[in-house]
Amino acid sequence: MDKKIINDLKKSIRTFDEKDNPRLYALVKDILDQELYEVLTYLDLAIMLDTKDMTKQMPEAVTNIIVELYNKAIETGDEYQQGLAYNNLGAFHYSERSGHQDQKKSLEYYKKAAKCGEIAAFSNLGYAYLYGNGTDIDYEKAYYYFSQAAIAGMPEGMYKIGDMFRYGYYVDKDENMARIAYIKAERLLDNDQGYFIPCTGKVYLRLGDMYFEGIGTAIDYDRAYECYQRAERGFYEMIRLGDLYSDEALKHVTERQTEIRRILDQELPTIDWAKKY
């Protein structure tokens, strides 16, 4: 491990208050006390610091260390490590949490990550072109990158393909194709190896809406309710991880569950053939 980075870590713990970011403070302290920097790679240490507590603002001193660690990983790592480091730097500069928000720079990092074969970068590039983050909106490029992510087995890319068919972005509007893509995204989630996938809530929200509204299929309130419940759990997890954008989605799925309960209650039969004891 680079001695400058170790010294910067030692300095950083004196520059931010423990109560402002207690989990990150404890992590930095453990790394120094146990000399974990002797066994961790640049990339591993960067990810540990970057993701420790995403509900808190990143202290400036630690922000600079993380950027340096990712750059060291790019300089010294293999293509896989370089791709992951580029992609994480892109996400780092996309978010305001780091204080380094620069969506144009974020886009360039995602492009470099994609060239290294980092599949998460394909979805990130899809979002950039779909919503114009750091670039002009380009639905054709968005479709291309989401397709590459879907082909690689990412549910994130697959459900966004569904969105593009649902609303007619670049492709002709086709609710049946949207339905197929959402179901395929769910199947990709089911192939998960036991870890939480961040887009879980988004996939099940769309499936819930599909069955609630009859998008490309018959209305099925029982199936919609099940999907909204799964979406709710997914959004709760994302909020715990520090995602600021899951609040409205969580509100949507909980309101839909309330509406379905009201509908199903009205459909309950009256049982009057026997006395109640």
Task: List pLDDT tens digits, range 12-44.
Answer: 888 888 888 888 989 999 999 988 888 899 999
Instruction: Report the number of distinct structural domains present in the chain.
Output: 1
**Which of 154, 65, 93, 142 shows the shortest CA–CA distance to 118?**
154
- Residue 59 in any domain: the answer is yes
CA distances from 201 to 6, 17, 58, 182 (A): 39, 34, 26, 12
Q: What percent of the chain has pLDDT over 70?
A: 97
- Residue 234 in any domain: the answer is no
Contact 8, 64 (CB under 8 A): yes
- pLDDT value of position 95: 83
Q: What percent of the chain has pLDDT over 90?
A: 67
- Residue 190 in any domain: the answer is no
Range of the domain at 10: 1-117
Contact 249, 202 (CB under 8 A): yes
- Residue 206 in any domain: the answer is no
Over 80: is that where the pLDDT of 192 sits? no
- pLDDT value of position 193: 59
pLDDT, tens only, 209-266? 999 999 989 999 999 999 999 999 999 999 988 887 899 999 999 999 999 999 998 8
* Average confidence score pLDDT of the chain: 91
pLDDT band at residue 274 under the 50/70/90 scheme: low
Contact 178, 216 (CB under 8 A): yes
Residue type, 50: D
Report how far residue 260's alpha carbon sits from residue 185's, in angstroms, rounded to the nearest whole number: 24
- Residue 71 in any domain: the answer is yes
Tally the residues of the chain.
277
- pLDDT value of position 112: 97
H-helix or E-strand containing 223? helix 221-240
- pLDDT value of position 194: 65
Q: Burial code of 218-245, b = ≥16 C-beta within 10 A, e = fewer? A: eeebebbbbbbebbbebbebbbeeebee
- pLDDT value of position 276: 62
Report how far residue 109's alpha carbon sits from residue 82's, in angstroms, rounded to the nearest whole number: 11
User: Is 185 exposed, middle or buried, given 0-12, 13-18 or 19+ CB atoms closer than 10 A?
Assistant: buried
- Residue 78 in any domain: the answer is yes
- Residue 90 in any domain: the answer is yes
For residues 184-197, give the mean pLDDT. 81
Is the pLDDT higher at 272 or at 4?
A: 4
- Residue 69 in any domain: the answer is yes
- pLDDT value of position 277: 57
pLDDT band at residue 275 under the 50/70/90 scheme: low
pTM for the model: 0.86
Over 80: is that where the pLDDT of 122 sits? yes
